[in-house]
């Protein structure tokens, strides 16, 4: 079957090639893929930025989102049957959705929202689970709280704004001039145009910040939070707690401690909690997101669609940082 794979780490690595059909375990579901979507995580994995945490072997098929149809089930599978339309973010040790088929443990899967196309469904799992695990699970965001979501026009930002509003929060976000009206339409109460304003000069006394940007934005975000607030980053640096939860070797835990030492000290001095979230596959949470999608609370936002053969071009596009929502790979 066809797949987009890499034989080495590198910014421009990757090509379309032929790989064997996936092998299956008793709890696995074999899915004929109709669509996937591109995330910055794919670019970072390709460049080798996560090789200490995620020791993949080559050749490696990239891809972290899927929507498709169940064509085979393992002998112990209970929740799905042949012909089910499903979507998921596969577990991080079994990625590979830029391909015609993939085998996924049933615990990572959910039935596709009935009101979405395959392309729309494929745009959601990673970003929606990220938003859920930051805002619901980690921040435990409550009605009336104030949250700043950086990069509101991006894949995570577009879903996080909608989810935060559903939870009853007051939402601020940052974006470029071209997207101000658009992110307001998603539900943002305050929009900081970073071409015209400096967010940490304008915003104060927020309860939560969701950071997906660089170290400079991370440090400045401390000024926005009130004592007792939470600074939650999905772009790093990782914390020793994160490394410990993953069962990382001692040396990796020490590296994580050093990488995050500065921001943890600054946060602690201000009475702020710093946390790093690396999204994980979770079919149960994804099923809750399905309910929000089917009720109209969350809607997907798609910027562009590429065929599987143009995956390299799609990766180059998202690396420019200008996508408005998600970039989809059409497979079937």
92 and 146 within one domain: no
Does 92 lie in the same domain as 18? yes
Within 8 A by CB and 6+ apart from 65, the residues are 36, 37, 39, 87, 88, 89, 97, 122, 123, 124, 125, 126
Return the CATH number at 237: 3.40.50.720
Residue 240 lies in a domain: yes
Determine the pLDDT at residue 74.
97
pLDDT band at 89 (very low <50, low <70, confident <90, very high): very high
pLDDT at 246 > cutoff 80: no
Q: Residues 119, 134: one domain?
A: no
Kindly state the average pLDDT of the residues 91-117: 97
In a domain, 6, yes or no: yes
The predicted model scores a pTM of 0.96
Q: Tell me, what's the pLDDT at 253?
A: 83
Per-residue model confidence (pLDDT) at position 259:
85
Let me know whether 7 and 43 are in one domain: yes
Condensed to tens digits (0 to 9), the pLDDT of residues 14-54 reads 999 999 999 999 999 999 999 999 999 999 999 998 887 78
- 82 C-beta neighbours (distance < 10 Å), count: 11
Decide if pLDDT at 61 tops 80.
Answer: yes
pLDDT for 322 beyond 90: no
SS3 103: strand
121 contact partners, CB below 8 Å, separation of at least 6: 35, 67, 85, 87, 112, 113, 300
Identify whether residues 118 and 42 lie together within a single domain: yes
- 176-199 burial, b if ≥16 CB within 10 A, otherwise e? beebbebbbebbbeebbebeeeeb
Say yes or no: 187 and 67 in one domain. Answer: no
Count of structural domains within the chain: 2
> Looking at 47-56, 68-77, 127-136, 137-146, which range is the least confident one?
47-56
Report the distance separating Cα 159 and Cα 22, nearest Å: 31
| Sheet containing 2-6: order of strands | 15-18, 2-6, 60-61
12 plus 142 within the same structural domain: no
Say whether both 103 and 229 belong to one domain.
no
Under 8 Å CB-to-CB from 233, ≥6 apart: which residues? 211, 212, 218, 274, 275, 276, 277
Rg from Cα positions in the chain: 19
Range of the domain at 27: 2-123+301-330
Please indicate, yes or no, if residue 290 is contained in any of the structural domains.
no
Q: Are residues 84 and 157 in the same domain?
A: no
Does any domain span residue 287?
no
CATH number, domain of 311, equals 3.90.180.10
pLDDT score for 114: 98
* Tokens describing residue 309: 């053969």
pLDDT in tens, 147-191: 999 999 999 999 999 999 999 999 999 999 999 999 999 999 999
Same domain, 45 and 181: no
- The predicted pLDDT at position 37 comes to 98
Per-residue pLDDT band at 4 (split at 50, 70, 90): very high
Name the band, by pLDDT with cuts 50, 70 and 90, for residue 252. Answer: confident
Domain presence at residue 314: yes
Are 314 and 218 within one domain?
Answer: no
Region 8-17: mean pLDDT is 95
Q: Do 142 and 167 contact (CB within 8 A), yes or no? A: yes
Mean pLDDT of the chain: 95
Task: Give me the pLDDT at residue 145, please.
Answer: 98
């Amino acid at each position: 079957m066809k797949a987009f794979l890499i034989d080495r780490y590198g910014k421009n690595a990757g090509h379309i090639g032929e790989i064997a059909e996936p092998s299956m375990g008793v709890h696995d579901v074999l899915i004929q893929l109709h669509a996937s979507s591109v995330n910055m995580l794919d670019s970072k994995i390709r460049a080798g930025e996560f090789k200490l945490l995620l020791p993949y072997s080559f050749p490696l098929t990239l891809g972290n989102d899927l929507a498709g149809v169940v064509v085979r089930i393992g002998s112990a599978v209970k929740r799905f049957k042949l012909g089910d339309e499903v979507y998921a973010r596969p577990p991080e040790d079994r990625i590979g959705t830029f391909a015609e088929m993939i085998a996924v443990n049933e615990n990572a899967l959910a039935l596709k929202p009935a009101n979405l196309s395959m392309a729309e469904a494929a745009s959601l799992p990673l970003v929606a689970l990220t938003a859920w695990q930051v805002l619901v699970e980690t921040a435990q965001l409550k009605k009336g709280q104030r949250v700043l979501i950086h990069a509101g026009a991006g894949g995570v930002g577009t879903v996080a704004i909608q989810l935060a509003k559903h939870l009853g929060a007051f939402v601020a976000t940052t974006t470029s001039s071209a997207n101000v009206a658009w992110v307001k339409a998603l539900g943002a109460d305050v929009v900081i145009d970073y071409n015209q304003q400096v967010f940490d000069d304008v915003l104060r006394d927020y309860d939560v910040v969701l950071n997906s940007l660089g170290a400079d934005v991370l440090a400045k975000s401390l000024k926005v939070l009130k004592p007792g607030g939470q600074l939650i980053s999905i772009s790093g640096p990782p914390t020793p707690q994160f490394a410990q939860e993953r069962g990382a070797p001692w040396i990796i835990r020490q590296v994580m401690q050093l990488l995050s030492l500065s921001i943890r000290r600054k946060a602690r001095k201000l009475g702020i909690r710093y946390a790093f979230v690396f999204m994980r596959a979770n079919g149960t949470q994804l099923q809750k997101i399905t309910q929000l999608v089917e009720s109209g609370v969350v809607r997907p936002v798609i910027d562009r669609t590429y065929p599987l053969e143009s995956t390299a071009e799609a990766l180059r596009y998202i690396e420019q940082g200008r996508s408005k929502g998600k970039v989809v790979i059409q497979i079937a």
